[in-house]
Structures are given as C-alpha cells and as structure tokens.
A and B are shown apart, each in its own frame.
Chain A
Amino acid sequence: MNNLSTPLSNDHVMLAVNDLSISYNGKVALRNVTLDVKSNEIFGIIGPSGSGKTSFLKAVNRMDELTSGMSTSGEIRFHGYDTSKWRNLYSLRKRIGVVFPLPTGLPLSIYENVAFSPRISGVRHKVDLDEIVEKCLRRAALWNEVKDRLSSLGSLLSGGQQQRLTIARALSQDPDLLMLDEFSIAVDPVTTMRIEDVLKELKNELSIILVTNLVQQAERLADRTAFFLNGEMVEVGKTEDIFEGKTSDSRTTAYVEGRFG
C-alpha cells in the first residue's frame, strides 16, 4: 500500500511537528505544538471543542493555503520533508487523507465518489478504476451495502454510509497518513464500532491521526494520545499512561475522567 520503494520501519517518523502555531486573522488558535506521528500507529488527539484540534489537521495538509485569514508558523515535516517548502501542495494533499466531522458525499454517484481521486491522478482505464473502487469500498466496510447501486448519488446515502464513503474516498488516494476529525459526530453507534474496526485494520498499512471528543474512543484505538486544551497541547504520551493517571499535568487526568470538557 505504500508508494515508497523501501518498506518503512516501525519507528519511521511519518509526521514531525515542531513548534507549530496557528492563527486566524491574528487570533491565535493553537500555539507551540511539538509532536511526532510514527508509521503504523494511531495517534489520538483529545480535547474539548475549540482547543485547536481541527486547525491542527488543516495545517498538516496545508489547507491554510485555501482558508482565508489562516496563517501558521513553526515546522511540519512529512516523511522528513518540510511541507512549507512543498512546491505542489496538491501532491502533498494526495498523500494525506482527511475525513471530516460531517459526512460529505460529493454530489456524484457512489462509484464516482471513490473514483474521483484516482481519476484526477490520471487513472483512466475502467478496469483499474473498478478495482480501486471495489477495494476501497470493501476496506471501508461499505461494499456489501452499496455494490448493487454504485450509480446512485453518494450525497443521498445515510449519514453513517456517507461517512464510510468518505473513508473509502480518502483510501482511494492511497495515502500514507489518514486523519479523521471527530468522524463519529453524525454517525450511529453501530456504524461507529464498524469504522473503529476498520481503523484497527488500516493501522497495519498507514498512520492514522484520530481527533476525537470521545475520550473512550481514543482509549480504545490510539497507541499514543495528545491532549489539547484552549489552543495548547497540554501533554502527549502513551495512551495507557494518559488513561491510567500517569500524567504530568493534572488537567489531563481531570479531562479523561470527565470532570470537565
């Protein structure tokens, strides 16, 4: 699944963030974040809303360029390569899949939703596209539900199905890093569990950043977890440590135990 010629070792640093600060029209949304995400790990980010989690994701795939008023400072390295020096940001974004909080099926058929990214990358042959579409829909646990109606509109699926469609679409980019932003907000609990299973599978092939407001979700899935609060990263550590009270900051324990947030 990896595009790079050499297999990556488990301690390969997929994403290295150094002293990242983000502001919107001068108002600081996130300050001085330093962390790294290794390959084949699920990296959880927890914190109450407004803590800067979504801004962080936007900065990683350089959506700041497309968001008016957003500016960043600090350094983000993807595979060790400074993203601010990237000449063709579109090629960067192709390596990083994103799943947004609200499921967004594009107003295209289910098939074309998943074929969108391969198409813009130059895949033309129907056979190749068919293969990619089926594979990605299967991996997102949606294939069985939609295989008989691939030509119906993706934007008219149910919320849970649309979210899995979004994941299939993100996978069709063949990304090295998958970022999910509170994906379960508009999804029923059964679908949430199915998607969580999908993520555990996917971990063997890529890195995942899981932003969530459900602390238990991070506890279930993440290898390491970072806690964001009011635009600051309070701490980052092994998920077990964070949830077993071995924290360096009392606010973290207070948050994971549900005392605020």
Chain B
Amino acid sequence: MTMFAKTEHNVRCYATEKRWKALFLLMTALLILPVLVILTLLIVRGGPAISWEFLTAFPIKGMTEGGVFPALLGTIFLVSLALVFSVPLGIAAAIYLSEYAPDNVLTRIINLAIINLAGVPSIVHALFGLGAFVLFAGFGTSILAASLTLAIMTLPVVIIATKESLQSVPHAFREACWSMGATRWQTIRRIVLPNAVSGILTGVILEVSRTAGETAPIMFTGAAFFLPFLPESVYDQTMALSLHLFVVATQVPNVPEDLPYGVALLLIGLVLTMNALSIGFRIRLRNKKKW
C-alpha cells in the first residue's frame, strides 16, 4: 500500500468534511433566504400601492388614503441635514485616527467611544437627543434636533469607512512625501485624500442608507405622526417615511392592507438602492487600483 492510498480513515474524514460543509452552506442559505422572501413579498403586496400619486400626494382621510409625499420629503430633509453635521466631523475624526493619532491610551479610548456610539441602543440616542437638543439646546422637537441625533448616531459609519479607506493608501506614499519635506497636511491633502475619496463616498452612501431607515431616534426629537403641511425651516417638525410606516402599521385604524406594504416597499427600496450603490461603487473601486 502506498502512502497516498485512500485509507478507510481518510475516506471517513473526507465524508465528515463534506457533511459539515453542506450544513454550513445550508445555514448560510437560511440566513439569506428570508431577505429574498421578504423582498418578494413586499414587492408583490406593496407594488400595486405605489403610483405617481402615492409619491407626490399628501396623506388624506386619517392617513388611510392618498400619498406619502411629506414623509418622503421629510426623510430627505432629515438625512441631508444629518450628513451636513456628520460627514465633516466623521472625516476629521477618521483623519485624526488614521494620520495623526499616536498609539496611546487616548487613541484607544477614542476607538472605544466610537464602538460604543455605534453600539448604544437607538432609543438611548433618542433620549439623548431629547435631553440635549430638544430641551437643553432649546431647538424644540424639530428637524434640527432630529438631524443632530441621527448625525451622532451614524457618525461611526462615516468614521469607520473613512478610516479604512485612508489606511488602504500605502504608508510608503506618506513616507515619500514626508521625506520631501511635505507637511502632514500637505501629504493628506495631495496624496492620501484624493486616493481615499471614493472609499469615503462609499461610506457616506452607506450612512445615507442607515440614516433613512432609523425610526426610534427621531420619534421624540423631530418627527411627527402626521402634519398637514410641509416644514418651512429646520425648527419645524416633519413627517418621515420610517415613522410613517410604524404609524400606518400600528396606530391608524382601517388602513387598507396594501398601504403599509407600499410604504415598507418604498422605504426598503430607498435603503437597498443606496446600499447597492455603495457596494457597486466599492467593487468598481477595487478593480481600478492605481498601485
């Protein structure tokens, strides 16, 4: 018998491996399958509800008819304003961590704070927004207060994505610039940032998707169940798509069955489109390396 013959033991090992592999594949499939089922169901049930009128009209008759226009617009307002706060701050934090921060206790605490910011329950962020922005800062329940709450909550998304894309720029480029007498900032501005900008954009799109779907943090800080008019300034309240789904699904009697499915489909469509965009962007980026 040669060394390479299939011994009984070997065959048994190989069979075990195959069984486990099949089991793990099944588990993966069972995790992913629900998404596909859910998407299909939402499209089938919610599809008919979506029309031009649905997107552009106000809700009427106690939100049992009409469209979701103010909610859609409100979500766009909230997300845009949240980005205005979180993107510059998040990029600054990421640049600090990636380019300046020494390996010390403070840096570790910053990293820990970021992890915690991402891990604190969304309802706790809502309590914070209520205490800090609505009451203490005196913004009242407003778009401003809700956007700030969302911005702080999703800050880690921008920081982590930006930090990753900054760090993917090889260190040798930085050393080459420094050795020529470039300051750290000149190095960052001329070499590091231009080569990380698409990665940062990917992170920002991901943040848009996260922010648009959040409900709890805006419930008590700026989003209203129903408003018969559009907000006129950042100190007004607004409707939001995510909260609207909660409201029509649980709070309003006699809603036609298709309506909440339509709202859910719209929301998930918005979020997944953004996500797909971000993923597609990332894949294209990887295939287009400059070094």
Asked if A and B form a direct contact in the complex, defined as CB atoms under 8 angstroms apart, the reply is: yes
Binding site for B on A (CB under 8 A): 61, 63, 66, 68-69, 90-98, 100, 102, 104, 106-108, 116-117, 120-121, 153, 155-156, 166, 169-170, 173
- Decide if B179 touches A120 in the complex (CB within 8 Å): no
The answer for the CA separation of A125 and B195 in the assembled complex, in Å, is 25
- Decide if B181 touches A104 in the complex (CB within 8 Å): no
Question: A68, A94, A106: which contacts B181 (Cβ < 8 A)?
Answer: A94
CB contacts (< 8 Å) of B177 on chain A: these are 106, 116
CB contacts (< 8 Å) of A92 on chain B: these are 181
Most buried by B among A66, A91, A120: A120
Question: B173, B181, B184, B186: which contacts A107 (Cβ < 8 A)?
Answer: B173
Quick check: is B256 within 8 A (CB to CB) of the other chain?
no
CB contacts (< 8 Å) of A102 on chain B: these are 172
- Decide if B182 touches A107 in the complex (CB within 8 Å): no
B163 to chain A, nearest CB (A): 17
- Decide if B172 touches A104 in the complex (CB within 8 Å): yes
Quick check: is B253 within 8 A (CB to CB) of the other chain?
no
The answer for the CA separation of A66 and B172 in the assembled complex, in Å, is 13
Query: Besides the contacts A63-B175, A66-B178, A96-B179, what 10 more A-B pairs have beta carbons closer than 8 Å?
Result: A94-B180, A94-B181, A100-B172, A100-B175, A107-B290, A116-B182, A120-B181, A153-B290, A156-B290, A169-B176
B152-178 to A contact mask, C-beta < 8 Å, 1/0: 000000000000000000001101111
CB contacts (< 8 Å) of B103 on chain A: these are 68-69
B103 to chain A, nearest CB (A): 6
CB contacts (< 8 Å) of A170 on chain B: these are 179-180
CB contacts (< 8 Å) of A96 on chain B: these are 179
Q: Jot down 24 A-B pairs with beta carbons below 8 A, ordered by A.
A: A66-B175, A66-B184, A69-B103, A90-B182, A91-B181, A93-B178, A94-B181, A96-B179, A98-B179, A100-B175, A104-B172, A104-B173, A106-B177, A107-B173, A107-B195, A107-B291, A116-B180, A117-B180, A120-B183, A120-B190, A153-B290, A156-B291, A166-B176, A173-B180
CB contacts (< 8 Å) of A120 on chain B: these are 180-183, 186, 190
- Decide if A93 touches B176 in the complex (CB within 8 Å): no
B171-208 to A contact mask, C-beta < 8 Å, 1/0: 01101111111111010001100110000000000000
The answer for the CA separation of A120 and B173 in the assembled complex, in Å, is 16
- Decide if A169 touches B180 in the complex (CB within 8 Å): yes
Q: Which 7 A-B pairs rank lowest in CB-CB distance, beginning with the nearest?
A: A94-B181, A93-B181, A98-B179, A107-B290, A155-B291, A117-B180, A104-B172
The answer for the CA separation of A63 and B290 in the assembled complex, in Å, is 26
Q: Is the interface of B mostly helix, strand, loop or mixed?
A: helix
What number of B residues sit within 8 Å (CB to CB) of A? 21
B249 to chain A, nearest CB (A): 50
CB contacts (< 8 Å) of B182 on chain A: these are 90, 116-117, 120
- Decide if A117 touches B181 in the complex (CB within 8 Å): yes
Question: A93, A121, A155, A156: which contacts B179 (Cβ < 8 A)?
Answer: A93
Quick check: is B121 within 8 A (CB to CB) of the other chain?
no
The answer to whether residues A104 and B176 also contact, given A120-B186, A155-B290 and a CB cut-off of 8 A, is yes
The answer for the CA separation of A120 and B188 in the assembled complex, in Å, is 13
The answer for the CA separation of A94 and B177 in the assembled complex, in Å, is 10
CB contacts (< 8 Å) of B178 on chain A: these are 63, 66, 93
A84 to chain B, nearest CB (A): 17
Quick check: is B62 within 8 A (CB to CB) of the other chain?
no
B221 to chain A, nearest CB (A): 41
A13 to chain B, nearest CB (A): 22
A99 to chain B, nearest CB (A): 9
CB contacts (< 8 Å) of A63 on chain B: these are 175, 178-179
CB contacts (< 8 Å) of B191 on chain A: these are 106-108
CB contacts (< 8 Å) of B173 on chain A: these are 104, 106-107
Most buried by B among A95, A102, A116, A166: A116
The answer for the CA separation of A69 and B102 in the assembled complex, in Å, is 9
Most buried by A among B181, B182, B194: B181
CB contacts (< 8 Å) of B195 on chain A: these are 107
The answer for the CA separation of A117 and B177 in the assembled complex, in Å, is 8
The answer for the CA separation of A11 and B176 in the assembled complex, in Å, is 30
CB contacts (< 8 Å) of B291 on chain A: these are 107, 155-156
- Decide if B176 touches A90 in the complex (CB within 8 Å): no
The answer for the CA separation of A66 and B181 in the assembled complex, in Å, is 12
B169 to chain A, nearest CB (A): 8
CB contacts (< 8 Å) of B181 on chain A: these are 90-95, 117, 120-121, 173
B276 to chain A, nearest CB (A): 28
A62 to chain B, nearest CB (A): 10
